[in-house]
Chains A and B, each alone.
Chain A
Amino acid sequence: MKIAMTVWGERISPVLDCARTLLVAEIVREEVVARRYELFDARCLGQIMQILARQGISVLICGAISQEPANIIEAGGIQLIPFLAGDAEIILQTFARGQAISAFAMPGCRCYGRCRMSQCGSSRKRMRT
């Protein structure tokens, strides 16, 4: 599977709405086998949707995101895992191994399993079910 993360240096970009770099990673048997970076202008959502579609990306991990781009991305059939923060590589490896990434939730966004709307506790294995 291919996933994408909006990144800022080595970290997850704090706000998708003004992010500039997309890390596209390919995961095979719980290993990240390929990585590439794509630059985009988040003000033009069509651009990011084109990249996601062209690369066949099924999951997008990002930091904070507002409702409008979230709607557009989800309407495009992409699984959105928002409101994460921290080292992009560690989150990527954790996700690739199928482990929960709830520990990387942004402050105020931890649902402790109570919030059905949030995907803070998403993991790759859980999403497959």
Chain B
Amino acid sequence: MSDQVDRKEPGELVKAHENIASIANEIILESISDGVFTVDHEWRITSFNRAAEEITGIPREEAVGRFCWEVFRSNMCEGDCALKRTMKEGKSFVSSSTYIINKEKKRIPISVSTALLKNADDEILGGVETFRDCSVVEELRRELSGSVQMGDMVSRNKAMKQIFAILDQVALSDSAVLIEGETGTGKELLAKAIHNLSDRREQPFVGINCGALPDTLLESELFGYKAGAFTGAEKDKPGLFVAADGGTILLDEMGDTSPAFQVKLLRVLEEREFKPLGGVEMTRTNVRIIAATNRNLGQMIGEGRFRQDLFYRINIIRLKLPPLRERLEDIALLVERFIAKFNRLKDRAVSGIDNGALALLMSHSYPGNIRELENIIEHAFVLCQGDTIGVPHLPAYLLPSPRTANFAPEIQPTSGMSLDVAVSSTEETVILAALRRNNYNRRAAAEELGMHKSTLFRKLRRLGIELPLGDGRSVLAKPAR
């Protein structure tokens, strides 16, 4: 019996082996994590594997038969297409770095390899392109280098979009820029974005926190010193104005500098030169100044705490970053980005945040702004062992106390929730957040919400919201003494 099975004609054996190889190839192609597609001579896709579907987000049945550039959507397609070069020159290319754009408008960094597709008779059937998702590598690289692109600053907020809209022109202008914003709003990130978009991007970007250093140390850091300038100064040390030459310098917390230092800085801005500590000769400098502050410099001028002439020097272009409490529409977006970031950094697979936890985040006032939100998500990653961040994973100070206006109620999962209930729930969240921001002053909250205060009273009654005893009315009602 076994003899009969083993005794096959050579032709049959070859055919059987070819079938097995074909099946094996198909299984291998479907199981690897690299995307693979093939095209014919007219650039139409003839096969598209599972990983290609995952990386591009395009189902195979929609991809096959379409032009490769409509599916692949890479920055190489229009100009320097690797597959086109392979087809033209008849040789393979390995690991060209590029990016594709998925339907969510995200750039996905990839590496691409291309080869000719031939049959057993060595006839060219078309081309094959293999690509690998490099998002994780790129994210880690960005974390390590600390470099930033404008694309890293995400927002749906109108004020932020206005800043994005002019950032290109601001970057190319080479004028001094003043960035205002509370702590944690992303002033340094914005300064780096301006630098990276400017013609100075190949030169250094240097930042210094002026508020953290006493005058003498600040001067030696910025202007450098000569050997013998003070005890312990054994050799010359160039300052940051030299280190950043040709590039950009960020002077953070500018409002915290002393009047004496402001005079010295004004001279650098006016004359474009400075004298290192202990030096006798002036040193020329070519740096772009970006100043940042969390204070109201205009008010400080009135109080005599900031020089008006320096203010006019740095206030050529002023960008004001809104605090996170005025960018509530960005919270979900930022949470999503931080979850993606910590998933990569901590090798986790948290898929998202539930509606209750998100509602709680929406009702917080964020004195620490985006940095605080990032810390909250990092905290949640420590406590969350499942795949969804929930209320118990958030820091205790965010957790609800008994149902008063101190806590904005959760929006419960949307499944099974009628539209009316969802609207009321959201309305309640927004009203409570506005009340908290206005220290429970109903008139101020009503103004912020764009409604009359009697409308607000009616809504509070209808929603059954109880306000705390100290509701802020007395504070505003009394004239200032």
- Asked if A68 lies at the interface with its beta carbon under 8 angstroms from chain B, I say yes
- Asked if A1 lies at the interface with its beta carbon under 8 angstroms from chain B, I say no
Q: How far is the CA of A15 from the CA of B63 in the complex (A)?
A: 17
- Asked if A70 lies at the interface with its beta carbon under 8 angstroms from chain B, I say yes
B79-111 vs A, CB cutoff 8 Å, 1 = contact: the mask equals 100000000000000000000011101110000
Return the contact of A66 from the options B59, B105, B155, B172 (Cβ within 8 A): B105
With both chains docked as a complex, state the minimum distance between the C-beta of A86 and any C-beta of chain B, in angstroms: 8
Chain A contact patch, size range: 20 to 34
With a cutoff of 8 Å between Cβ atoms, the chain A residues found around residue B66 in the complex are 85, 107
Contact B101 A15 (CB under 8 A): yes
Return the contact of B62 from the options A13, A46, A70, A108 (Cβ within 8 A): A108
Contact A107 B161 (CB under 8 A): no
Q: How far is the CA of A123 from the CA of B150 in the complex (A)?
A: 31
Smallest Cβ-Cβ distance to A109: which chain B residue: B103
Contact B172 A85 (CB under 8 A): no
Contact B161 A45 (CB under 8 A): no
Return the contact of A14 from the options B69, B154, B165 (Cβ within 8 A): B69
Given the known A-B contacts A45-B168, A68-B150, A75-B162, are A108 and B103 also in contact in the complex, defined by CB atoms under 8 Å?
A: yes
Contact A107 B168 (CB under 8 A): no
A58-93 vs B, CB cutoff 8 Å, 1 = contact: the mask equals 000001111110111011100000110100000000
With a cutoff of 8 Å between Cβ atoms, the chain A residues found around residue B105 in the complex are 64-67, 70, 82
Contact B75 A18 (CB under 8 A): yes
With a cutoff of 8 Å between Cβ atoms, the chain A residues found around residue B168 in the complex are 44-46, 49, 72
- Asked if B385 lies at the interface with its beta carbon under 8 angstroms from chain A, I say no
Given the known A-B contacts A67-B106, A68-B150, A76-B165, are A18 and B79 also in contact in the complex, defined by CB atoms under 8 Å?
A: yes
Smallest Cβ-Cβ distance to A6: which chain B residue: B78
Q: How far is the CA of A54 from the CA of B154 in the complex (A)?
A: 28
With a cutoff of 8 Å between Cβ atoms, the chain A residues found around residue B63 in the complex are 107-108
Smallest Cβ-Cβ distance to A107: which chain B residue: B62
Given the known A-B contacts A66-B107, A108-B58, A108-B59, are A15 and B172 also in contact in the complex, defined by CB atoms under 8 Å?
A: no
Given the known A-B contacts A64-B101, A65-B101, A68-B151, are A15 and B106 also in contact in the complex, defined by CB atoms under 8 Å?
A: no
Contact A66 B106 (CB under 8 A): yes
Smallest Cβ-Cβ distance to A108: which chain B residue: B58
Contact B78 A107 (CB under 8 A): no
Given the known A-B contacts A72-B168, A85-B70, A108-B58, are A15 and B151 also in contact in the complex, defined by CB atoms under 8 Å?
A: no
Q: How far is the CA of A64 from the CA of B56 in the complex (A)?
A: 12
With both chains docked as a complex, state the minimum distance between the C-beta of B387 and any C-beta of chain A, in angstroms: 25
Return the contact of A107 from the options B58, B107, B154, B162 (Cβ within 8 A): B58
With a cutoff of 8 Å between Cβ atoms, the chain A residues found around residue B155 in the complex are 71
Return the contact of A46 from the options B70, B103, B172 (Cβ within 8 A): B172
With a cutoff of 8 Å between Cβ atoms, the chain B residues found around residue A74 in the complex are 161
With both chains docked as a complex, state the minimum distance between the C-beta of A110 and any C-beta of chain B, in angstroms: 8
A1-20 vs B, CB cutoff 8 Å, 1 = contact: the mask equals 00000001000011101111
With a cutoff of 8 Å between Cβ atoms, the chain A residues found around residue B62 in the complex are 107-108, 110
Q: How far is the CA of A63 from the CA of B72 in the complex (A)?
A: 12
Q: How far is the CA of A79 from the CA of B160 in the complex (A)?
A: 19
Contact B169 A46 (CB under 8 A): yes
With a cutoff of 8 Å between Cβ atoms, the chain B residues found around residue A106 in the complex are 70-71, 73, 103
Q: How far is the CA of A76 from the CA of B164 in the complex (A)?
A: 10
Return the contact of A20 from the options B71, B78, B102 (Cβ within 8 A): B78
- Asked if B74 lies at the interface with its beta carbon under 8 angstroms from chain A, I say yes
Given the known A-B contacts A14-B73, A46-B168, are A19 and B78 also in contact in the complex, defined by CB atoms under 8 Å?
A: yes
Report which B residues bind A (CB closer than 8 A). 56-59, 62-63, 66-67, 69-75, 77-79, 101-103, 105-107, 149-151, 154-155, 161-162, 164-165, 168-169, 172
**A68-B164, A75-B161 given. 5 additional CB < 8 A pairs?**
A15-B77, A67-B151, A71-B161, A72-B168, A75-B164
Closest 8 CB pairs of A and B: A108-B58, A75-B165, A64-B101, A64-B73, A107-B62, A75-B161, A14-B69, A85-B70
Report which A residues bind B (CB closer than 8 A). 8, 13-15, 17-20, 44-46, 49, 63-68, 70-72, 74-76, 82-83, 85, 106-110, 118
Instruction: Give 5 A-B contacts (CB < 8 Å), ordered by A residue.
Output: A14-B78, A15-B73, A63-B70, A82-B105, A107-B58
